[in-house]
Homo-oligomer: A and B are copies of this chain.
Amino acid sequence: MKLTTDELILFNKNRVEVNFKKGETIIKQGALAGHIVYVKSGLVKVFLEHGENELILSLEGRKKLIGLQAINSNSIYPYSVSAYEDVSVCLLDIKTLKHIVGTNAKFAEQILNLIIEESNFSHNRMACLSLKQLHGRFADLLLCLSLRIYRRKVFKVPLSKKDMALITNMSQESMSRVIKEFNDDKITDIKGNRISILDFEKVRHLSVVG
């Protein structure tokens, strides 16, 4: 999503640039929100901490705003965010943002649109996780990486197989088997952390049929 002039002005006034190392926590669920995060580079995961388990809500890459949900009454982050690789971000003071949202209706409308978009994305992910099985879920991850994050058919990911298993809500062993099948069927060519999508239509089909 492109940023508007309003948002760019805001950025230039209040930005603090920070780098996070691989594995570091960028946003902690439950903490009082001090800022919204704009990802300049690197891949991050947005996730719910739920007792022992975690549920990954989304992967986000460059040019994404994260933490907008904390612009609410209590200013508590409703999820955690951590870095899959070294990440560079801008931190935007949440009070400033809240002030602008409360006074500039056009700006508020745009933030609203961003959150609605995320809400729809989240609903789709819910459908993916609860209606599809292994192959469909992995196909969805491939589509997400290829279309939303890297915008190519061949790319390197900072994700281990274990990470991918967590994202698609399956066991590590199942992940291994699914990848093997995709490779054997010439749908993908996945070696180490290099992913090549060979048959995009088949991936899309598997995503649809579940």
Q: Which residues of A contact B (CB under 8 A)?
A: 48, 50-51, 53, 55, 57, 68-69, 71-73, 78-79, 101-109, 111-113, 115-120, 122-127, 129-131, 169, 208
Contact = CB atoms under 8 A, between A and B. Distances in A.
B116 A72 contact: yes
Contacts of A169: 130
Given A57-B126, A112-B111, A130-B130, A69 B104 contact: no
A107 B115 CA distance: 16
A125 B127 contact: no
Copies of this chain, count: 2
A72 B79 CA distance: 24
A120 B69 contact: yes
A53 B57 CA distance: 22
Contact of A105 (B72, B105, B122, B130): B105
B55 A112 contact: no
Contacts of A79: 123
Contacts of A48: 123-124, 126-127
Contacts of A101: 105, 108-109, 112
Of A106, A119, A122, most buried by chain B (CB within 10 Å of CB) is A119
Contact of A57 (B109, B112, B123): B123
Contact of A116 (B53, B71, B108): B71
